[in-house]
Structure 1
Amino acid sequence: MSDSFSTLRLFARVARTGSFTAAGKETGKSQPSVSRIISNLEKELGVQLFVRSTHAVRLTEAGEEYLTRIEPILSDIEEANHFVRGTGELRGRLRVGAPASFAQREIIPALPPFLAQHPKLKVDLVLTDSMQDLIDEAIDVAIRFGPLGDSTMVARKLGSTPRVVVASPSYLTKAGTPKQPADLVNHNVILGPSSIGKTGWSFEKDGKIQSIRVESQLMISVNESTTTAAVAGLGVVSTSYWSCRNELEEGTLVQLLPDWTIGEVEVNALLAGGRHTKPSARAFTKHMREALIRRTGF
C-alpha cells in the first residue's frame, strides 16, 4: 500500500473518530506519529484540515470538503483491490453498529465462520440501543429495527421477527395467566425501548383488534435488560421473538396470548457509502441474512 493511500486513509479515520489517538489505535500508530502525518498532509496541500483542541480535533470547512471527495476514492480503491485479488478475501476494518441485545444474541454467534473466512479483516462492533449516526461514528453497517426513515443510505432487509408478549412461570403462578389482551391491565408491565413513549399495545385475532392502555412501574432503556427483568419475575414484557428466543426454548419465559398477534419488527442493515459501499460491508450483510434464516427461520 502506497504512503499516499495510507495517509488518506489515516486522514479519513481521524476525521471520523475526531481523535488522533483513536485513529492511531485503529491503524497501529502512535498519537505523535498520526499528528505528524496529518501535519505533513496539511503542509503538502497548503490548507488546514483540522482545528485542534485539548480533547478533540474537528474538520475545518476545507477538511470537510476534502473528506467528501476522497472517501469515494478510497472506497473505489478498496473495491479494486478486492476484485484483482480474485480470492474473495476481505481486508481492512469494518465498523458495525447494532443494538447490544441483537449483537449478543444473533451477530456474535454468527461471526466465527465469517472471521475465519476473512482472517485479515478487523471488525469493530459498536453496540448501543440508541440510534447511531453512520457518518459521525464512521459506521459501515448499522442494524436497524422497525420502519426506516428517508435516508441516502443503502438498505438491505435482513428479515423480520414477530413481537411477542412474555412472562416468567414464577410471575404467572403469582399473578395468573391472562386469557385476553384486556386482562393485561391488571398485570405488572415492563416497558422497554420500543414501548417507552407509547400509550398502548394493539392485538389482532381473526380480523378483530383489541387495544389496551399500558402503564408501567418499571421502564428500561436497554432491550436486553427487559428480558432479564421478565425472567426475574418482575412482570410482562412485549418484545421481539429474537430478543427472548433462548428463554422461550429454555422455559424461563412463557409466551402469552399466542393466538393473538401484536405485529412484526423488520430488521434492516443500513450500508454507508451508497454505490461506494465497502465490499466487507456487503459481505457481512449477506452473511448475517443467511445466518438469521438458518438460526431462526424468519
Structure 2
Amino acid sequence: MKDIFALRLFTRVARLGSFSAAARECGMSQSQASRTIADLEASLGARLLSRTTRAVVPTEAGAEFLHRMEPILDALEEAEQSVREGGELRGILRVAMPTSVAVREVIPRLPAFAERHPALHIQIMLDDRRQDLVRDAADVAIRVGRLPDSSATAKSIATISRVIVAAPSYLARAGTPGSPADLVDHRIVGGPASFVPTAWTFEREGDTLKIDPAAHMSADDNEGAVAAAVAGLGITSTTSWGCGRELADGSLVRLFPGWKTVDIPVQAFFPLGRATRVAARQFIDFLTNALREEIRR
C-alpha cells in the first residue's frame, strides 16, 4: 500500500507541477512528499521528475511512466470500489465548475451526497474560465454552455434559461428599454455569460434579433457581473442560475419578457471518457436527480 501511495503521489506532483501542492492534497509536508518520490525514483532506478526553481516537470521517462501508470491506478480504484460493502465511496473526488454554479446550485445540494459517502473527500475547483482538466486531474467538470468537439464524454444535467437583467435603480435613472434594439443606448455590464455569441440573441413570432452592445464595464466571473448590475451600473446578460436570488428578492428585474432568449445547456464533462472514476459518475447522477426533483416540485 505504501508503494501505491507513492505512485499516486507521483501522478499528482507530475500533474500539478508542484511538490507543495501535491503534499497539501495528501495531507503531508513538502519534505515528506519529496522524500517519498526520491525513494520511488531510487527503487525504479530512473529519474521521473525534473526539479527547477520554477516548476517540477516529468522527465522523458517520467512522462512515459505517468502515461502508463494513471490508467492502472484508476483501474485499481475501480476494483476496490466494486468489492467495498455498502457502496461507500472513498478517496478524493475533484470537481471543476464555475463559481456561481458551485455557490448557488451545487454546494447547497451536497449535504445528502456527503452524508452518504463520509469517507469521500470532495474537492471543488472554482473558476469561471475553462480549467486545464488534465493538469488539474479533475474527475469531472460542470460546464455551462455548449461544449467544443472533444474525445471526452459529456452528460446533460439540465437546461437553464438566459435572462437580461438590471437593477430598479438603474432603470429609474436610465429608463427601461422597450425592446432589445434599445440596448445600444444603455450601459452594459459584461461577464462570462454575456460574451458568448448567443448572449444577446432574441426571438419573437418567428423573427430573430441579434444585438451586439458594447460593454461599459466587465467582470471575469458571473458573481462580479451580477453584483455590478445590482449596484446599478448597467444591464447584463446572464443565466437564470446566475441571478435567481437577486430576481427573487427584487434587487434585479428581468427585461423583455415578451422575447425568447436562447436556452443554455448544463453538462457534465468527463475528461477521461470511459475511464471516468465511479465517484464522478455517481456524483453527477446524484446532482442530475436532485435538480430534476426540484423541477418536478
Please indicate, yes or no, whether the TM-score normalized by the shorter chain is above 0.5: yes
Match of 2:104, SS state, is: helix
**Residue aligning to 1:79:** 78
The question of 1:225 aligning with 2:224 is answered yes
**Residue aligning to 1:114:** 113
Equivalent residue letter for 2:148: G
Distance 2:6 2:122 in 1: 21
Distance 1:244 1:79 in 2: 39
Conservation of the 8 A alpha-carbon contact between 1:193 and 1:222: yes
**Residue aligning to 2:264:** 265
**Residue aligning to 2:2:** 3
Distance 1:87 1:242 in 2: 34
Per the TM alignment, residue 199 of structure 1 is displaced from its structure 2 partner at its CA by 10
CA-to-partner distance for each residue in 1:156-203, whole Å, 9 max, x for gaps?
111111111111122222222222111222221111123348698221
Equivalent residue letter for 1:146: G
Distance 1:96 1:76 in 2: 19
User: What are the ranges of 5 or more consecutive residues in structure 1 without an aligned counterpart?
Assistant: none
Per the TM alignment, residue 254 of structure 1 is displaced from its structure 2 partner at its CA by 0.9
Conservation of the 8 A alpha-carbon contact between 2:193 and 2:199: no
Q: Aligned-pair RMSD on alpha carbons? A: 1.9
User: What are the ranges of 5 or more consecutive residues in structure 2 without an aligned counterpart?
Assistant: none
**Residue aligning to 1:26:** 25
**Residue aligning to 2:97:** 98
Distance 2:27 2:273 in 1: 28
**Residue aligning to 1:279:** 278
**Residue aligning to 1:212:** 211
Match of 2:148, SS state, is: coil
Of 73-82 and 187-196, deviating more is: 187-196
TM-score, length-scaled by structure 1:
0.94
Per the TM alignment, residue 29 of structure 1 is displaced from its structure 2 partner at its CA by 2.1
Conservation of the 8 A alpha-carbon contact between 1:170 and 1:233: yes
Conservation of the 8 A alpha-carbon contact between 1:144 and 1:268: yes
Distance 2:25 2:141 in 1: 19
Conservation of the 8 A alpha-carbon contact between 1:171 and 1:234: yes
Distance 2:154 2:199 in 1: 29
Distance 1:184 1:54 in 2: 51
Per the TM alignment, residue 295 of structure 1 is displaced from its structure 2 partner at its CA by 3.9
Conservation of the 8 A alpha-carbon contact between 1:20 and 1:34: yes
Superposition pairs of residues 1-298 of structure 1, within 5 angstroms: 2-196=1-195, 201-295=200-294
TM-score, length-scaled by structure 2:
0.94
Identity %: 47
Match of 1:79, SS state, is: helix
Match of 1:134, SS state, is: coil
Match of 1:194, SS state, is: helix
Equivalent residue letter for 2:213: V
